[in-house]
Amino acid sequence: MPRVAITGLGSLSALGNDVAAHLAGLKAGTVGIGETQGIDVSSMKTKISAQVKDFVPEAHFEPRQLGLIDRTSQFAVVVARQALNDAGPALDGVARHRAGVVFAASVGFHAVDDSYHKLYADKAPRPHPFTVPRAMPSAQVSQITMDLGIHGPAFSIASACSSASHSIGTAFHMIRSGMLDVAIAGGGESQLTYGMLKSWEALRVLSPDGCRPFSRDRNGLVIGEGAGAVVLENLDRAVARGATIHGEVIGFGMSADGMDITAPETASVAASLRFALEDAGLAPEAVDYVSAHGTATALNDKTEAAALRLVFGEHLGKLPVSSSKSQYGHTMNASGALDFVTTTLALREGFLPPTMGFNEPDPDCDLDCVPNAARDASPAIALSSSFAFGGLNAVLALKRYEG
Query: What amino acid positions are annotated as catalytic residues?
Result: 161, 293, 330
**Measuring CA to CA, how many Å separate 181 from each of 76, 271, 303, 400?**
21, 30, 37, 21
| Phi and psi at residue 237, to the nearest 5° | -65, -40
Residues present in the chain in total:
403
Return left, alpha or beta for 372; rule: phi > 0 is left, psi -120 to 50 is alpha, else beta. Answer: left
